[in-house]
Amino acid sequence: MQLDFAANLINMLPVNILVLMLVIPLVGALLAFVLGSKGSRVIALIIATLELGLAGLLILGTPSLGSDPGGMSYTVT
């Protein structure tokens, strides 16, 4: 039972990464608004780094269990 749950979580990683890529800039914008101009450059740099890392992870591939390949690859049947 727990292995099935873990397999589903791993196979859902691309969807979770896309959700993070949409949510992180919103949280960063809210944080920059609260902090004012003092930390906005640092926040923008951190967010850009996170976005690039998540995009690279999504493009290069995420781990997958079973017959479904990870990343952006697909199989023609």
pLDDT along the chain (77 residues), means of 10: 63 71 82 79 84 79 59 54
With contact defined as beta carbons under 8 Å apart, do 64 and 70 qualify? yes
Give residue limits of the domains in the chain: 1-61
Confidence at residue 19, expressed as pLDDT on a 0 to 100 scale: 78
In Å, what is the CA distance from 16 to each residue of 40, 41, 57, 76?
26, 26, 12, 24
pLDDT of residue 67: 62
Distance CA 55, CA 5 (A): 25
- pTM score, whole prediction: 0.54
